[in-house]
Structure 1
């Protein structure tokens, strides 16, 4: 009474049976035909003689099997089975090891670097994320947190996050002036704060996976722009989404 008869074509009718099919067969990936359709499309590309399509497919299949068998046993020749991965991470082999644990991530940036200044809000979040996740300064973080708790028990987390960078910079400067041997160069550089100018890249490779920015993928069908940083135990309320920004 609402839709015209022409509306109920085969595609609309199949949607009625989808709930029953899901209950019977489970997730849709266990029963769809896409892998077989792709494989049949591969066979169609084997046809060179349209008068004998079956013979062309059989001959090409045997040829591919022979080449595959031989290439798996050739060690001194690069084949599809022994060549390196396209998204291999080479940072660990070309750069020195980071002295602080928070900077130990192996990321390979792609493309030319573009220098830009971070907004104040994003700069503060990035600085706090680095300081709060650096295992080498956990004692300083606990001291400042206890100090904030003794002064005023209200809004401890917010005051701790906003005041710790300044307090940590002053504390390390005093220790470095009195007893320089107790403060390493890396801790002192970390306390001085990061550079507001960062190098921004259009893509990066991390853990064998290639990621791109949203701007780069505007005209592409595939999307590799989502990089999620899982929160730590000390930072359980913080979930950051990084879009291929390396500083």
Structure 2
């Protein structure tokens, strides 16, 4: 009797499995997204691929004037089509003076808005429409989330981590290694996820973070003889750029350094379902070219 029931259950399971493979509009175990997989389509706005998805329901709030300006100028600095405008702005004598970075950002935002507004009205290209949307700036009202999934990583804010034994608020942005400039990796802790909204229904997700003082090689960050990086999370950078694009970050864990009180060892994380494979040594002899 038990054997007959087992055979029936096995046959039923096989039939259900066969059927579910043909149900494209219904979520099954064969077509559902992985826990850390992005479900957004590969759209494009300002040259950014809009991948990633927020976790949970967003809470609406209004950005302060300073936050709005910081987010706006950061997006423009990372938009390729805006770089010629920055170069032109730097050559203008009326703006090329000893301004603070905050005043300079405000001046550029105003100048850029007026400059783009003078573009030909008959230019209806996608690039021009996106520049017009960007020049107007994001709306004051945004949605804030406590988590975000992107590039195989699942991030949560540090306030969310307080109630959990796991840790998913550590972030790192790999620094750009320019000519004769040492690359600096920026380590931080995610404070909030902000979804900016622009004209035309366009959105961009930004991470607002507390960044470690990676410029102080003794009090903010240090590297031991084995190459392990440690950071002092209580020593943060005093900067006007707390925001970073969501697709620019990777995830790290911060482990307590038992030998140095107040310090944390950085452990970089591989995205889920991605494994670092060691390359095999090629022992074949390569003949010398004559």
TM-score range, shorter chain: 0.5 to 0.7
Matching of residue 185 in structure 1 with residue 134 in structure 2: no
Report the equivalent of 1:85.
34
Number of residue pairs matched? 164
In structure 2, do the counterparts of structure 1 residues 152 and 184 end up closer, same or farther at CA, with 3 Å as the change threshold? closer
Cα shift readout 1:94-130 (whole Å, capped 9, x = no counterpart): xx511312x3242211111111111222221111100
Say yes or no: does 1:113 pair with 2:113: no
Stretches of structure 2 lacking an aligned partner (at least 5 in a row): 1-16, 22-28, 197-290
The answer as to whether partners of 2:43 and 2:51 remain within 8 angstroms in 1 is: no
How many angstroms apart in 1 are the aligned matches of 2:63 and 2:141? 7
Query: Who is 1:139 aligned against?
Result: 84
Name which of 108, 111, 129 aligns with 1:164. 108
The answer for the alignment partner of 1:97 in structure 2 is 43
Q: 2: CA distance between counterparts of 1:156 and 1:232?
A: 24
The CA deviation at 1:190 is 0.8
Larger Rg: 1
Residues 62-77 of structure 1 correspond to what in structure 2 (within 5 A)?
none
Q: Does the C-alpha gap of structure 1 residues 198 and 231 become closer, same or farther in structure 2, counting only changes over 3 Å?
A: farther
The superposition leaves residues 40-64 of structure 1 with CA deviations (integer Å, 9 ceiling, x where unpaired) of xxxxxxxxxxxxxxxxxxxxxxxxx
Which deviations, in whole Å up to 9, do the C-alpha atoms of 1:19-56 show, x marking residues without a partner? xxxxxxxxxxxxxxxxxxxxxxxxxxxxxxxxxxxxxx
Gaps of 5+ in 1: 1-74
Decide which structure has greater helix share: 1
Which residue does the alignment assign to 1:221?
Answer: 165
Deviation digits for residues 179-221 of structure 1, max 9, x if unmatched? 6458721111111111111111111101111111122222111
Distance of aligned partners of 1:211 and 1:112 in 2 relative to their CA distance in 1, 3 Å threshold? same
2:72 is aligned to 127
Root-mean-square deviation over aligned CA pairs: 3.6
Q: Closer, same or farther in 2 for the Cα pair 1:181/1:203, shift >3 Å?
A: closer
Partners in 2 of 1:162 and 1:141 — Cα distance?
A: 13
**Structure 1 pair 241–194 and aligned structure 2 pair: CA distance change class (3 A):** farther
Question: Match of 1:210, SS?
Answer: strand
Cα distance in 2, alignment partners of residues 184 and 204 from structure 1: 30
Shift in alpha-carbon separation, 1:231–1:211, aligned structure 2, 3 A: same
Q: Secondary structure at the match of 2:149?
A: strand
Flag the 1:195–1:89 CA change in 2: closer, same or farther, 3 A: same
Q: 1:91 to 1:121 in 2, by over 3 A?
A: same
